[in-house]
Amino acid sequence: MEEMRELKTYEDVNIVLNCYGNKELIMQEIAMVSLMSSNGMGIKDIRELNYFDFLYSVSEYLEKTEICPLCFDEVYSNLRCRDDVIGRWELYNNKRNFPYTTFSTAESTHAILDWLYIKHDTHICGYEPLFTGPDGEKITKEYIGLIFSQMENKSGINISSHDLRRLFVETLRSNNVSEKHINHFLGHKANPFPDYKTHIYEDILKCYYSLTASELSLNPSMVSIPLEDYYCLLDNIKYADLLSDW
């Protein structure tokens, strides 16, 4: 039996994900792993996310538009071809009892959009879980553990939420991001400023994150393709079972 090897680079994450074919549930796994590897979110954070959380993360890119946030087709067509989107996620550290802000790459936003496109038709309930189990309910800790276990068995590479978090931290350190800012991204340190200055500090954090975002991507040389090509690709996955019956 081949010995499992350690997850060391974002290329290793790519190898893990490429062990799968294009199937509906795999799109969720790609979205989940892409998000976790781009900001170090833990399993508890992932489980608690809903569609409103996702909308908030991209809200600054929807402002001053006529897009209805609950009309997913409009959100998708507006954001899917944009490579400049840095998601801004509002999370809460329950152990230390304070809110914090972290960010995510355009690539992880695209992966979430693709997952939601396959999962839904046009409208989404705001409080619906972002990631779900086979029963359609909020994803469980056990199911996430099963996903990682299957990834390891298929790829021969150890992968867990802790491995993705470690990779995220090591990448930031190798790009000279300070420990203070890393601790803010991970929710280890509370915002030191009063409420009226919070948005200014978050904008500063976003700038630091943006400078490193390409290093946190699974595909740093991401190239935009026409939106209709995305629709075609995802529809082939979404309706694969239906088409196979013809």
CA separation, residue 40 to residues 32, 164, 221 (Å):
11, 6, 22
Q: Give the pLDDT score at 99.
A: 87
Helix 179-186 and helix 195-212: axis angle, to 10°? Answer: 110
Q: Give the pLDDT score at 221.
A: 46
Q: Which of 24-28, 160-164, 196-200 has the highest mean pLDDT?
A: 160-164
Mean pLDDT of 65-76: 87
Give the pLDDT confidence of 36-50 residue by residue, as tens digits.
999 999 999 999 999
- The tokens of 196 are what? 């009226």
Give the pLDDT confidence of 183-233 residue by residue, as tens digits.
999 998 766 555 545 677 788 889 989 989 989 988 754 444 555 555 555
Number of H helices, E strands in the chain: 12, 2
Homologous superfamily of 10-237:
Intergrase catalytic core (1.10.443.10)
Q: Report percent pLDDT > 70 for the chain.
A: 81
Write down the pTM of the prediction. 0.85
8 A C-beta contact, residue 56 and residue 101: no
Q: Sign of dihedral through CA atoms 56, 220, 29, 188?
A: negative
